[in-house]
Amino acid sequence: MEYVQVRFYAAARAAANVDRLEVPVGTLREILTNFSNANAELARVIPQCSFLVNSVICHDFDSAIIPGSEIDVLPKFAGG
């Protein structure tokens, strides 16, 4: 099976209770849905997050994430 790395920051890290995970490839939507189904606290945080795929903002949740990619889960940060 092929995998991607997911890195969690701030509130997402606290909700996930880890700073990174290795997960099977899929679309961004599939990956996020799997997290939401497995973790109610993370399900609450994810809708407030932005997502980077290989350091580039990703708005297309149905795009396939290729093996070896890195996904950053970034919640809104306080401050200005």
What pLDDT is stored for residue 50 in this prediction? Answer: 95
Contact 12, 20 (CB under 8 A): no
Tokens of 14: 């606290």
- The string of pLDDT tens digits covering residues 63-77 is 999 999 999 999 987
Report field, pTM of the whole predicted structure over 0.85: yes
Architecture of domain 3-75: Roll (3.10)
Domain coordinates of the chain in residue numbers? Answer: 3-75
Contact 50, 74 (CB under 8 A): yes
Contact 14, 21 (CB under 8 A): no
The list of the chain residues with pLDDT below 70 reads 78-80
Backbone φ and ψ for 28, nearest 5 degrees, come out as -60, -40
What pLDDT is stored for residue 78 in this prediction? Answer: 55
Candidates 61, 38, 37, 63; CA nearest to 49 is 61
What pLDDT is stored for residue 76 in this prediction? Answer: 84
